[in-house]
Amino acid sequence: MSAIAADPDAPETDRLPVLSPMLQRLAAERATGALMRDRGTLYLADGQVVHAESPATPGIDVLLTTGGTLRHEGWWDAVAQAGAGHRVGRYLVDSGHVPGGALELCHLGALYDAAFFALAPTGTPARFRYGVAHWIGPVRPVPVAAVERETLRRREFLDRIWPDPACDSAPLLRTAHGTDAPVPTRQRRLLELVDGFRTASDIAQALGRSAFHILVDLRRLAAAGLVEAVRAQPLPAAETPGRITLPEVTADPDIALLRRLRDALEAL
């Protein structure tokens, strides 16, 4: 939060890092369509974010139906009636399935949550499909700058709770430690689903809770020493005597050395 407060005074070059130059360009040209990234999709209308989806976090349908706000039939009725016209959100409210305020709260939560995952660092280039609209339709559009700012704040927030992201994506395991302090109800429900196989996303799906909320609670549980990530086991074969141990492959190969090797081989 202090970073946000201090931001307006920072010189232009020290501004928040750009999450996606493409997204900023699309916002500037007031584009409408879907920005498809490695870990999720942002839907824009007139350069504003109107919806976001990510496989890492439950969709608004799961969030609304899990708690009983909306019955499954109500959801499918809305999709059938208003899906083709891209007005499912409006229909849910007008038909009395979901109160207007509840839809806004749930939708905004789902939007920022999915955007957090969709804007995660990736090496895969993003694609933008102009003109594509999401069937949920307009609920409460959010400026791109607000989404980017919030995503950065959330990364920092998670690291402040517990600076190890291991629990964010790996299968989770309960540790043998006992609890010194009582675990809050929400964290306890989460803890009950930790079984050595489920990941944070699986738990979010099972509980019908925002995956970012699950990450926040998981980092707190990890900080308390109650949960840890299942670490990939080193292959036992590597220790077998008689095998040649190869050096680890590095992320940046020595290009010059490779060129010299190639040249030498070609010269043979």
Chain contacts with another protein (rule: CB under 8 A): 1-2, 4-5, 63-64, 66-69, 93, 96, 99-102, 104-106, 108-109, 112, 140, 149-150, 153-154, 157, 181-182, 184-186, 189, 207-210, 212-213, 216-217
Q: Which is nearer to another protein, 31 or 216 (CB)?
A: 216
Distance of CA 266 to the CA centre of its chain: 48
Q: Which is nearer to another protein, 147 or 229 (CB)?
A: 147
Q: Which element (helix H / strand E) includes 241?
A: none
CB of 191 vs another protein, minimal distance in Å: 12
* Partners of 41 in beta bridges: 36, 53
Q: Which is nearer to another protein, 68 or 234 (CB)?
A: 68
Residue whose entry in the numeric block shows the structure tokens 């790996």: 170
CB of 137 vs another protein, minimal distance in Å: 15
Q: Which is nearer to another protein, 34 or 139 (CB)?
A: 139
Going from the C-alpha of 209 to that of each of 63, 102, 244, the distances in angstroms are 6, 15, 48
φ, ψ dihedrals at 264, nearest 5°: -65, -40
φ, ψ dihedrals at 49, nearest 5°: -80, 120
Q: Which is nearer to another protein, 124 or 185 (CB)?
A: 185
Helix (H, G, I), strand (E, B) or coil at 45: strand
CB of 157 vs another protein, minimal distance in Å: 7
CB of 108 vs another protein, minimal distance in Å: 5
Residues 6+ apart with CB under 8 A from 204: 57, 58, 210, 211, 213, 214
Q: Which is nearer to another protein, 15 or 127 (CB)?
A: 15
Q: Which is nearer to another protein, 128 or 157 (CB)?
A: 157
Q: Which of 84, 78, 151, 139 is nearest to 115 (CA)?
A: 151
φ, ψ dihedrals at 231, nearest 5°: -85, 145
CB of 230 vs another protein, minimal distance in Å: 25
Decide the pairing of beta strands 142-143 and 172-174.
unpaired
CB of 113 vs another protein, minimal distance in Å: 8
CB of 78 vs another protein, minimal distance in Å: 15
φ, ψ dihedrals at 198, nearest 5°: -70, 145
CB of 104 vs another protein, minimal distance in Å: 5
Distance between CA atoms of 107 and 18, rounded to whole angstroms? 25
Q: Which is nearer to another protein, 105 or 258 (CB)?
A: 105
Distance of CA 116 to the CA centre of its chain: 4
